[in-house]
Amino acid sequence: MNVISIDEYTVRARLAPAVIAVMPAFAFAAIFVSWGKLGLPHVIASLGLMILFAAFSDIARRRGRKIEPGLIAKMGGLPSTTMLRHRDDSFDAGTKAKVHAFLASKLVAPAPSAAQETADPKAADDWYARGGTWLRENTRDTRKFRLLFNENISYGFRRNLLGLRMPGLLLNVAIVLTCAGVLAYRWPIDLDNYFNDALIAVIAASAIHAAYLSLAVTEDSVFDAARLYARQLILSVEKLDKVPTTTTTTRSRVTKQS
């Protein structure tokens, strides 16, 4: 059984995209619930929503991980790898040389030169990938590397929301058709002014929600977040170079990128 831990990353990078993706469905369901007074049914419904949110967060994670290989391929590789290349201009030559020297001391292997990178780009990328992995393993303390952690959350949020974009759009279509059917046939409920206006409001909200998913939730937004995270990861060398590092940290202070 897959147990979901409710921590900051889970809430902001997994649960939040799931809630955004299914928000019109919650709005549709809410118009059929009486909120005049609270009772046992509302408590049960609240507990059910908590369980549902946890399930949705896991779906968001799995959908995000499913699309990630394709996104990495379109970026030409992990940004934490590509930004370490000599031919990449994300960093000036001096900064890149310092990063290469630091990683070479940790990997106990010399960094590829520009000529070696040109002659054997795959071998060079393998070294850069090892360097990126070392940096991720040694920057898991979310208190010391708070800015990096926030960039990681931003990337996870955008990736997972992109993974839920198509299901979200299909859900919007289903809700709009359902609302339109109820309005047209006055079935399965006898509509009064409240239900009539509420259904129209849900249709409008679904249209706005679909426009947001179509126009704002894009691959480019994920690429931008991935590059910002990778840049901050590489810049963490400045802090790592000043203090001893270890790959073992207290579990409560460790957050994995996923």
Domain contains 206:
no
Domain contains 61:
yes
Domain contains 215:
no
Domain contains 180:
no
- Enter the pTM of the model: 0.84
Partners of 254 in the β-ladder: 141
Q: Is 38 helix (H, G, I), strand (E, B) or coil?
A: coil
Domain contains 48:
yes
Rounded to whole angstroms, the Cα distance separating 164 from 90 reads 30
> 245: closest CA among 83, 112, 135, 94?
135
**10 Å Cβ neighbour count for 256?**
8
- Give the angle 142-143-144 at the CA atoms, nearest 5°: 95
| Residue 18 · residue 164 · CB < 8 Å | yes
> 127: closest CA among 72, 81, 73?
81
Domain contains 15:
yes
Domain extent for 59: 8-165+220-253
Domain contains 258:
no
CB within 8 A of 76, min separation 6: which ones? Answer: 82
Rounded to whole angstroms, the Cα distance separating 116 from 124 reads 7
pLDDT by residue, tens only, the chain of 258 residues: 444 446 899 889 999 999 999 898 888 877 776 655 666 666 776 676 677 777 778 889 999 999 999 999 999 999 999 999 999 999 999 999 999 999 999 999 999 999 999 999 999 999 999 999 999 999 999 999 999 999 999 999 999 999 999 999 999 999 999 999 988 887 766 667 778 888 999 999 999 999 999 999 999 999 999 999 999 999 999 999 876 544 443 333 434 444
Q: Give the pLDDT confidence score for residue 81 in this predicted structure.
A: 98
The secondary structure element, H or E, covering residue 181 is helix 165-185
Domains contained in the chain, number:
1
Rounded to whole angstroms, the Cα distance separating 193 from 237 reads 62
The encoded tokens of residue 167 equal 């299901």
> 223: closest CA among 121, 75, 54, 104?
75
Domain contains 190:
no
| Residue 63 · residue 167 · CB < 8 Å | yes
